[in-house]
Amino acid sequence: MEIVEHAISAHCEGVRAQPVGGSRVGVLVLAGSSGRIETDRCRLLARTGMTALSIRWFGGEGQPAGICEIPLETFSTAIDLLRAGGAERIGVLGVSKGAEAALLLAVRDPRVDAVVALSPTSVAWANVGPGADGKTYPYRSSWTWRQEPVPFVPYDDSWVPAEPEGEPTACRTLYERSRQTFDEAARQAVIPIEQSAAEILLVAGGDDEMWPSLLFAQELAARRASAGRTAKVIHTADAGHRPRLPGEGPAASSHRFRYGGTAEADADLGAQAWPDIVSVLAGPVALGS
């Protein structure tokens, strides 16, 4: 399918890819803590007949350098752009911290019709990096809504990585330990995804070494089930934190973190999930129309 691509400069930095003639399906694509604009992922979705928009939501001009007290309204503004471009059905596809944002947004913005959360979390977490004031500590929420911080789980600063100094770090036990240490905060920080009317698809790898995304996905699905709503979980035992969709190459290697999985396993999980990803995002809307 022939697509066209536009740079976005109004309100935020980003890119929009869409089929020639547009689409009635709009998808907001959110990266994780890399902060990158997901141009290739937008192109991939556009080739299926959707309009896909990815924005820089931290680290850009006038934005906090880290994921600290990011207004969820940032993503609602992006939805405004999709709606203004003719999208009638709105989906949000996010990975890791982007999945955290997508799930929180679905609870608060009723215009979100579908969420695909890759390597999700079931609770909101403290900031990753500095806020607008340039400070990382004391810990604050990653997110705000209507200028109020979203309840969050702080990090347990007594945690020590298991890896020798200088080796890439697996952070999974940090998140597991922090949730245990700050049990009451964790209860307050649960993402109440059962309140959202959006369709929910959760994709997670059992070998995720960044955080326990498969456990988180199962917790989210259980919350949905408790309210008589569904959330499909697609998982494989050997994939890690960064599932790759068909047509995407392997994720870049990291000297800082261990993400788990292998290139083959991460691609296999993405391939298994891909038909459901397209189906959930498109919903009943005819693509390309």
The string of pLDDT tens digits covering residues 95-105 is 999 999 999 99
* 115 within some domain: yes
Give the total number of structural domains in the chain: 1
CA 85 to chain centre: 23
CATH of residue 45's domain is 3.40.50.1820
Helix/strand/coil for 270: helix
Residue identified by tokens 């679905």 is 106
Closest CA to 203 of 217, 192, 193: 217
Q: What is the pTM of this model?
A: 0.96
Which residue range forms the structural domain that includes residue 64? Answer: 3-280
- Sign of torsion, CA 250 253 256 258? positive
* 285 within some domain: no
Strands (E), 141-276: 143-145, 148-149, 199-205, 232-236
Closest CA to 244 of 259, 260, 265: 265
* 151 within some domain: yes
- pLDDT tens for residues 129-174? 999 999 999 999 999 999 999 999 999 999 999 999 999 999 999 9
* 155 within some domain: yes
* 289 within some domain: no
- Cα–Cα distance measured from residue 107 to residue 79, given in angstroms and rounded to the nearest whole number: 14
* 286 within some domain: no
- pLDDT tens for residues 117-133? 999 999 999 999 999 99
- Cα–Cα distance measured from residue 202 to residue 273, given in angstroms and rounded to the nearest whole number: 9
Calculate the alpha carbon distances from 9 to 29, 65, 67, 77 in Å.
16, 19, 21, 13
